[in-house]
Structure 1
Amino acid sequence: MTGLDRRTLILSAAGLAVAGPALATPMRQDPEPRLLTNILTRVAAEVELNGSNRYPLVLDTGAGRTVLADTVVRDLNLPAGPPVLVHAITSAEVLPTVRLAQLDFAGRRFNDLVCPVVSRDLLAADGLLGLDVLSRYRLSIDLARRRVSMRPSGSDVFEGSPAFASPSRLTREGVRAEIGRFGQLILPTARAGGVTLSAFVDTGAQYSIGNLALLEALSAGRADQPGRNVEVYGVTGQVLMAREREVRGLEIANRDLGPTTLLFADLHAFSALDLIAAPALLIGADILYRFRRVELDYGRRRMTLSGLRPAARTR
């Protein structure tokens, strides 16, 4: 990992807040928006807010709610909503919210969202598109083509799109996952260095991070490996020190990633998801970009990672 600055690791755990899935209406809109680049390596796409204004939002499967930057709130003059409790990287915080009347994304419209507000300087983006929008669908992120799509989950057939000439039948590909407290898909069968662990995908995080229970399990009976200490910054401004270490034999969704550099720290997010006591891993964009395609099917509780690419020498 090289060239680290104040935003060494941006974690989206500030978006963890209880919110029911937003109801959606199909729209005549591109069903496969193009992914954007250079938002600190995170997965992002343009989203239309309140019928006209378009903003790049980070697709954030680690956030329970959609989050908006304070600059966007001022641009749209959004009315205030009730304060909500969110889980940041070191503790829970109460954040102000606004009411968003309309959000259009991937050919679907979502109405009446309550969105926490965070400083844009901390978000380093105009907002986070959270699980209140994403968790009712089969979310396909095509990193090779730089496209994203959301299709109905729980049916054997889904509608066609520009990528498909006719309706297609879903397959049983991928591995079975569990649903976490805030709607995340949690894979209980991942492995690292021979240690079984629980893993969840956080597309809003730059880098992947394991808890200290995983680090302890990997270190059992072995000489301590040298590793740098790295400051981890959350989107609410909280700071935590993490340790960097290379892990051998990382296996996620039946894919062997080989030697992989991870960070380790006991994020508050692990506690919030009841993943603090046993080995666990937050899968960030650094690992996701190793694949050509990532699919998170929330209705069927399945996770698919396909098209593994060679690892880069440095982050």
Structure 2
Amino acid sequence: MFTRRALAGGLGSILAGPSLSALPTHAEAASQTPPIVTTDELAGKAGQEPMIILDASLDSDARLTVATTINGVAGFRFVVDTGADRTVLTPGLVERLGLLRGPDVVVHGATGAVTCPTALVRTLRAGETGLTDSILPVLPYDRIGADGLLGVDALEGRNVVIDFRKNQLEVRRSAPSFEPYTSSREVSVSANSRYGRLTLADSRIAGAKSLAFIDSGGGVSIGNMALARSIAAKRRRSSDQVQRIRLLTASGEIQLGEFRIIPTIKMGDLRLTNAPMAFADLHVFNHWGLNERPVALFGVDLLRLFARVELDFGAGKVLFRLGQGGFPTVLQA
């Protein structure tokens, strides 16, 4: 199986690459990031097989969590998932606290919708955010990998700080009127919340204009097939190697799709090169009404190229700090 860790391992040699200070002095602001090592070898290895399986879930090393208190009881750890509409609990937490059951609800995931129970929560606190008197869905631990998920319903007006170098995650109050000093090692990208989550402005993937969302709960970056078609049209006169894949989600479901090495991804003044990306028409794209428009979810595989990422829901921006991120270097089959 081609796991998210294997994907990271294929790019792991970036850690041995030149430091930012060693980059050529003619590098433009749009290419401040350390260059991602070309993955031709990885693509060639994948091409030996008629189809590969790409695990899109988070592995334990990538699953950064935040301390969470439920109904005054501390000791729980939640994954902050900026791609999830709702905060979610797991059965073990519900049982431990003896939470009252609420009405069943339909939860829309990557590959489909499922009816699940809910639980009544008086208070939920995580860092400097929280929810009160909430009815929250309950999903199996295997789908979450933690005590729960903190979704965008709890992140309004908040700043999510993901520090891969320190392996820490914080949720703070946003200060939208305050403009922090940004050094040459930081790039700020404008965003808005038109679709209920941070939407990066001015994103182009392999030259194709696209909506782009930060998905801190996803292990692999995924674009829809409308984006794949747009990229193919842009690259008609150049090489566009495509690998057929089976995309394995956190729920164990399989989705047919494609895999490409994207030559450039631009987000405002930030540019990445030779970035891996899967493509599939996920159920969640259809649920958002975006199947016909090029759109991508940027997962932890791309976020970990940076030392630190700040998702400011209050100020409407994403701040990327350049430098050695937290890519695991172990190749796992």
Normalising by the residue count of structure 2, what TM-score does the alignment of the two structures yield? 0.73
Q: CA deviation at 1:234?
A: 4.1
Q: Does 1:267 align with 2:288?
A: no
Larger relative contact order (Cα-Cα within 8 Å, sequence gap ≥ 6): 2
Kept in 2, the 8 Å contact 1:43–1:204? The answer is: no
Unaligned 5+ segments in structure 2 are 6-52
User: Using the alignment, how far apart are the partners of 2:116 and 2:134 within structure 1?
Assistant: 15
Q: In the alignment, which residue of structure 2 is the partner of 1:73?
A: 94
* Secondary structure in 2 matching 1:249: strand
Q: Counting strand residues as a fraction of each chain, which structure ranks higher? A: 1
User: Using the alignment, how far apart are the partners of 1:8 and 1:194 within structure 2?
Assistant: 26
The structure 1 segments of at least 4 consecutive aligned residues displaced by more than 6 Å after TM superposition are: 4-7, 310-315
Q: Does 1:249 align with 2:260?
A: no
Kept in 1, the 8 Å contact 2:225–2:280? The answer is: yes
Could you tell me the percent identity over the aligned residues?
32
User: Using the alignment, how far apart are the partners of 1:248 and 1:102 within structure 2?
Assistant: 46
| One of 198, 203, 209 as aligned partner of 1:190 | 203
Structure 1 counterpart of 2:198, one-letter code = L
Q: In the alignment, which residue of structure 2 is the partner of 1:207?
A: 220
Q: CA deviation at 1:112?
A: 1.9
Q: For residues 312 and 46 of structure 1, do their structure 2 counterparts lie closer, same or farther at Cα, with a shift above 3 Å needed?
A: closer
Structure 2 counterpart of 1:289, one-letter code = R
Q: For residues 149 and 89 of structure 1, do their structure 2 counterparts lie closer, same or farther at Cα, with a shift above 3 Å needed?
A: closer
User: Using the alignment, how far apart are the partners of 1:233 and 1:294 within structure 2?
Assistant: 24
Q: Does 1:177 align with 2:191?
A: yes
Structure 2 counterpart of 1:254, one-letter code = D
Moved more, 55-64 or 251-260: 251-260
Q: In the alignment, which residue of structure 2 is the partner of 1:113?
A: 134
Q: In the alignment, which residue of structure 2 is the partner of 1:142?
A: 163
Q: In the alignment, which residue of structure 2 is the partner of 1:232?
A: 248
* Secondary structure in 2 matching 1:174: strand
Kept in 2, the 8 Å contact 1:232–1:242? The answer is: no
Q: For residues 113 and 186 of structure 1, do their structure 2 counterparts lie closer, same or farther at Cα, with a shift above 3 Å needed?
A: same
* Secondary structure in 2 matching 1:62: coil
Q: For residues 4 and 63 of structure 1, do their structure 2 counterparts lie closer, same or farther at Cα, with a shift above 3 Å needed?
A: closer
* Secondary structure in 2 matching 1:135: coil
Q: In the alignment, which residue of structure 1 is the partner of 2:297?
A: 282
Considering only CA atoms, is the larger Rg found in Structure 1 or Structure 2?
A: 2
User: Using the alignment, how far apart are the partners of 2:128 and 2:193 within structure 1?
Assistant: 25
Q: CA deviation at 1:62?
A: 0.8
Q: For residues 100 and 229 of structure 1, do their structure 2 counterparts lie closer, same or farther at Cα, with a shift above 3 Å needed?
A: same
* Secondary structure in 1 matching 2:202: strand
Q: Deviations over 1:93-142 (max 9, x none)?
A: 33221012222221455322221111112322221111121222122222
| One of 273, 283, 287 as aligned partner of 1:258 | 273
Superposition pairs of residues 26-41 of structure 1, within 5 angstroms: 39=60, 41=62
Kept in 2, the 8 Å contact 1:70–1:120? The answer is: yes
Structure 2 counterpart of 1:9, one-letter code = A
Q: Does 1:10 align with 2:57?
A: yes
Q: In the alignment, which residue of structure 1 is the partner of 2:311?
A: 296
| Superposition CA RMSD, Å | 2.9
Moved more, 219-228 or 48-57: 219-228
Q: For residues 233 and 290 of structure 1, do their structure 2 counterparts lie closer, same or farther at Cα, with a shift above 3 Å needed?
A: same
* Secondary structure in 2 matching 1:286: helix
Normalising by the residue count of structure 1, what TM-score does the alignment of the two structures yield? 0.77
Structure 2 counterpart of 1:208, one-letter code = S
Q: For residues 57 and 145 of structure 1, do their structure 2 counterparts lie closer, same or farther at Cα, with a shift above 3 Å needed?
A: same
Q: CA deviation at 1:294?
A: 1.2
* Secondary structure in 1 matching 2:120: strand
Q: In the alignment, which residue of structure 2 is the partner of 1:22?
A: none
Q: Counting helix residues as a fraction of each chain, which structure ranks higher? A: 2
Q: Provide the aligned length of Structure 1 versus Structure 2.
A: 276
User: Using the alignment, how far apart are the partners of 1:179 and 1:270 within structure 2?
Assistant: 16
Unaligned 5+ segments in structure 1 are 12-37, 158-168
Kept in 2, the 8 Å contact 1:39–1:125? The answer is: no
Q: CA deviation at 1:61?
A: 0.6
Q: Deviations over 1:242-284 (max 9, x none)?
A: 3221111122342222101111101122222333212211011
User: Using the alignment, how far apart are the partners of 1:202 and 1:304 within structure 2?
Assistant: 15
